[in-house]
Structure 1
Amino acid sequence: MALRAVATMAMAARAASPRGITRHFSTSSPNSFMPPPIAAMGNGEGTPGREQAPPSTNLFVSGLNKRTSTDKLREAFSHFGRVIDARVVTDRVSGYSKGFGFVRYATIEEAEKGRVGMDGKFLDGWVIFAEYARPRPERTPPQNMTNSNTYNS
């Protein structure tokens, strides 16, 4: 009985302390949470944390809704200039969108307007990001491999 009374008093003392259980799990005061700043959301500076590609007529568009079609992408970006080509990249097997695509403008000036105008905007209910597409890295052709199969020799 006395042991129960001592345990209850100890629990009451712990509950009355201002820091309570937070001292076990927190390294700072409980009201000091500050969310990270949103660096590039709709200001034409591209996806946060990525280095910018040099200006070109080709834009990389990410964050697309899985139901966004190529025609819808072309229509959205055509408000900022003459779109030469637009395409949503799809999976080869399933045919579903991979969530990104490319838009090619006639001039670099139009591409800049499209990039600034559509970066951080909503398309089909999703926020999309537009930035200059990076040039494709040069692919070296595979070395001629000798056929170790003696079947067709």
Structure 2
Amino acid sequence: MALRTMIARRFLSTSAFSSQFGAAASNLTAAGSTASDKPAPVPSDTLFVSGLNKRTTSETLHEAFVKFGQVVHAKVVTDRNTGFSKGFGFVKYASIEDAAKGIEGMDAKFLEGWVIFAEYARPRPPQGQTAPQNPYAQRS
């Protein structure tokens, strides 16, 4: 459900949708923003890129993001058996400023016919601990 809400908000905030429906779109996106939304992302030099085509390679990902800054490393996570992309990857930039430009330039843009999403990567949990099911849930 949260994923659907996030995708709907991104769709509603796109310029093509906003220009077609004007104020109605901005009212819908403003109404969807509440205090319970996820906190602001912590800036990082590494980006998490989702929505990748199964045929996307690390080289293609690198070429797409190098336009916005110095890419140190780009990696598409692949399935061991098929070798195809699992639909996500990581791009590491030389600086946080370049990473911000990468998000601005590639978030909700097309890559190999698919709309991709770029955001700051969250740090891995310490080894031996499992990640919480909902990382934005408040613990008491």
- Fold-level match, TM-score > 0.5? yes
Q: Which runs of 5+ in 2 are unaligned?
A: 15-36, 130-140
Alignment RMSD: 2.5
Measure, in 1, the Cα distance between the counterparts of 2:120 and 2:40: 7
Task: Calculate the TM-score normalised by the size of structure 2.
Answer: 0.66
Alpha-carbon deviations, 1:129-153, whole Å to 9, x = none?
0000000000128xxxxxxxxxxxx
1:42-61 correspondence to structure 2 within 5 Å: 51-61=39-49
Are 1:100 and 2:88 matched, yes or no? Answer: yes
Between structure 1 and structure 2, the one with the greater Rg is 1
Query: How many residues in Structure 1 have an aligned counterpart in Structure 2?
Result: 102
Percent of aligned pairs with the same residue? 58
Task: Calculate the TM-score normalised by the size of structure 1.
Answer: 0.60
Gap change, CA 1:53 and 1:95, over 3 Å in 2: same
Measure, in 2, the Cα distance between the counterparts of 1:39 and 1:120: 11
Equivalent residues of 1:74, 1:103 under 8 A apart: yes
Deviation at 1:121, TM superposition (A): 0.2
Classify the secondary structure of the residue corresponding to 2:10.
coil
Equivalent residues of 1:80, 1:117 under 8 A apart: yes
Partner of 1:89: 77
Measure, in 1, the Cα distance between the counterparts of 2:120 and 2:84: 24
Gap change, CA 1:66 and 1:52, over 3 Å in 2: farther
Classify the secondary structure of the residue corresponding to 2:9.
coil
Alpha-carbon deviations, 1:10-59, whole Å to 9, x = none?
xxxxxxxxxxxxxxxxxxxxxxxxxx89422477xxxxx75543100000
Are 1:64 and 2:34 matched, yes or no? Answer: no
Gap change, CA 1:126 and 1:54, over 3 Å in 2: same
Measure, in 2, the Cα distance between the counterparts of 1:69 and 1:78: 14
1:1-153 correspondence to structure 2 within 5 Å: 38-41=8-11, 51-140=39-128
Q: Which runs of 5+ in 1 are unaligned?
A: 1-35, 44-48, 142-153
Gap change, CA 1:39 and 1:134, over 3 Å in 2: same
Question: Quick check: which one's helix share is greater?
Answer: 2
Gap change, CA 1:51 and 1:61, over 3 Å in 2: farther
Equivalent residues of 1:62, 1:128 under 8 A apart: yes
